[in-house]
Every structure is written in C-alpha cells, then in structure tokens.
Amino acid sequence: MPPLILASSSPYRRALLERLGVSFTCHSPDIDETPLPDETGEAMALRLAQQKAAAVAASCQSGLVVGSDQVCVNGGQLLGKPGTVENARRQLLAASGKTVTFYTGLCVHDIATGRSASLVEPFRVHFRPLTAAQIDSYLEKEPALDCAGAFKCEGLGISLFTRMEGRDPNSLVGLPLIALVELLAEFGVEVP
C-alpha cells in the first residue's frame, strides 16, 4: 500500500481516519479558504478538498493524499467555524427549528500518477426549536467554537436535533469514512 497522507491539521479528521486502522501521516495544507464570489457550499467544499490534497501532494514524494473540507449552509448562507461564543450563539439561533445542510468534500490524490477522485457527501441536520437559554447552556457545557455549525454531534450537540439525514454521520465531524473507503478502493487500497 502506498503511504497514506491526510492533508489536514484537524484533530477530528485525524481521529476519524484512525478508526479505519490504516497507517497515515498528517500534513497541514496551506491554502486560502476564502469563498469565491457566488460559490455554493457544495462547490466550495469540493474545491477546498481538492486544493488541500493538491497542496500536500506538491510537497510530498509519494503516496495517496486525502483532502477533506466541510461547509455548512443555512438558508443559502455559508457558515464557517464560529470562533467566538457570540458567533456560535448567532449560528445556533439562526439554525433553531431549521434544516441545515453540511457538505463535506473529499479528494484522494495519487502523487505517483497525478490521478484524483473526488466527491461531496451531503448531510442534513434538523434542529429542534431552541431557546436562547438552551443555546447558552449548550455553549457553556460544550463550546464548539472550532466546528462549523457551532456544535459537536459526537457530544452534547446531539441534543440540539430532532433528526439527521445522510449516508455517513462521520461526514458531520469532517471526514466521510464510508465514501473514503470507496475512494481508496479505486486506488487499490482495501479497508479492512
């Protein structure tokens, strides 16, 4: 198996990839993640995943590079990582009672051949109606300031939803493992 390289500095993506039991290294891509004018969330997630994989591939000798990026869309508005409690509160208030879509772009790039395979995995989260007090209580217990959408579904954030829809709940955390296993198989890597 060629060396596997995760093009990310995210501890969440690293922990997800470790679940597959494959050896890999991590390299942080240095790319501009600014949305392009009129870019959709789906297009942005795909573009950033591909750019991350390409940036890391350019600095490595060999291997398969895995790039991934996630974009949260609520009512047509792209939401990034909140960064502050105030921004997290605003994001959660805006999501209250609504369906929010997360697009997770995934790209596997073979350095030796230059071949890439990419996709976007959508996932929908249906938020229950939330009061300001519930949001504040959540953020006090689990300030998800480094997570798009301002929650951690793998933690207390699950209490904010009425349901979730999608093929792979791991895509909400930032790396769709089901799709990754399928893409790796296209490059001759079988998991398990």
CA–CA dist 131, 21 (Å, integer): 41
Instruction: Answer yes or no: is 108 within a domain.
Output: yes
Instruction: Answer yes or no: is 70 within a domain.
Output: yes
Which entry of 30, 32, 38, 69 is annotated as an active-site residue? 69
Q: Residue 147's closest CA among 163, 134, 160? A: 160
Per-residue pLDDT of the chain (192 residues; tens, 9 = 90+): 789 999 999 999 999 999 999 999 999 999 999 999 999 999 999 999 999 999 999 999 999 999 999 999 999 999 989 999 999 999 999 999 999 999 999 999 999 999 999 999 999 999 999 999 999 999 999 999 999 899 999 999 999 999 999 999 999 999 999 999 999 999 999 999
Q: Strands 77-79 and 25-26, how do they pair?
A: unpaired
Instruction: Answer yes or no: is 191 within a domain.
Output: no
* pTM for the model: 0.93
Instruction: Answer yes or no: is 63 within a domain.
Output: yes
Q: Residue 46's closest CA among 67, 19, 61, 30? A: 67
On the CB side of 72, CA atoms within 13 Å amount to 24
Question: Could you confirm whether 38 is annotated as catalytic?
Answer: no
Host domain of residue 46 = 4-186
User: What total of structural domains would you count in the chain?
Assistant: 1
CATH code of 139's domain: 3.90.950.10
Instruction: Answer yes or no: is 192 within a domain.
Output: no
Instruction: Answer yes or no: is 11 within a domain.
Output: yes
